[in-house]
Amino acid sequence: MSNERPTADELRQGLTVEIVQGDQNVQSEDKEPIIGEVATVYEDDPNGPKVELKNGVVGHVQSVVHDE
C-alpha cells in the first residue's frame, strides 16, 4: 500500500482501496480502515477523495490496495 493518497482523477471503478468513513476522524489511530472495491468516485477532499464502495459504504480514500 502506498503512503500517498490518490486523487479522484487517479481512481476508477473496480480499484480496491482503503477508506475511512466520513463520520470518523481520519487522523484517529484506533479506527480500522475499510477495504473494498470502488463503485463511485465523488470528488477530491482534504481528507482524501470521497468514494462509495460496492458494498454501499461511503468514505475518504486513504490508499489504493495493490495485489502482492
Please report, in tens digits, the pLDDT of each residue of the chain (68 residues total): 445 889 999 999 999 999 998 665 555 555 678 999 999 999 898 899 999 999 999 999 999 998 75
- The pLDDT score that the predictor gives to residue 67 is 72
For 1-68, the three-class secondary structure string (H helix, E strand, C coil) is CCCCCCCHHHCCCCCEEEEEECCCCCCCCCCCCEEEEEEEEEECCCCCCEEEECCCCEEEEEEECCCC
Q: Residue 1: its pLDDT value, please?
A: 42
What's this model's pTM, rounded to 2 decimal places?
0.79
What is d(CA 6, CA 64) in angstroms, rounded to the nearest whole number? Answer: 7
* Distance of alpha carbon 39 from alpha carbon 32, whole angstroms: 20
Give the pLDDT score at 2: 45
Res 49: pLDDT: 95
